[in-house]
Structure 1
Amino acid sequence: MSKPILSLKQFMLKQEVKALYRKIFKAIREVPDKTYQEELKQWTRRDFRSNANQTDEISIRMSLKYGERCLRELETSLSLAK
């Protein structure tokens, strides 16, 4: 069974999600505690997988905003810890 062809808007949205995922994992690598690092990785994977089947653009955008907010909080926490 072949994958459905995405519209340009869907493709761009998918690229935003992938970019956010990579940014989050890059930030997680900066966490000094390896145990906490692993917990954050598991949480991130679980959260992205639970939303992987979303097709509604508004829901996806809301999830992206939530992820961006979490990333900012993580980056702020990391900068304060230094």
Structure 2
Amino acid sequence: MPLTDKPILSLKQFLLKQEVKNLYRRILKTIRQVPDESNRNELKAWARSDFRSNAHHTDEVTIKMLIKSGERSLKELENNLCLTR
């Protein structure tokens, strides 16, 4: 009896999924450093909706492109946080 009905991921797919999860965690961790609560909530909602709206992608190249875009956004957020300190 199968535990879940989820498809079995290839190693590449598994590693990409882990990379996406790690990026999401890093973004949320960085957002926690935002001093203003309303900005923090707005950024959390943005991150959540952005990841959900792109969750349907299965093409490896597209996912890698989205990861790079997310990393650029994270870097920009980190830079802005450094400027406010």
Alignment: residue pair count: 82
Misfit runs of 4+, over 2 Å:
none
Residue 8 (structure 1) aligns with: 11
In our comparison, the structure showing a higher alpha carbon Rg is: 2
Following superposition, the deviation at residue 31 of structure 1 comes to 0.2
CA distance in 1, matches of 2:62, 2:50: 14
Does residue 33 (structure 1) correspond to residue 36 (structure 2)? The answer is yes
Deviations 1:1-26 (A, max 9, x none): 60000000000000000000000000
Residue 21 (structure 2) aligns with: 18
The two structures, once aligned, show a CA RMSD in angstroms of 0.8
Residue 61 (structure 2) aligns with: 58
Residue 78 (structure 1) aligns with: 81
TM-score (norm 2): 0.95
Q: Which amino acid aligns with 1:50?
A: S
Give identity over the alignment, percent.
Answer: 62
CA distance in 1, matches of 2:10, 2:58: 12
CA distance in 1, matches of 2:31, 2:75: 12
Residue 49 (structure 2) aligns with: 46
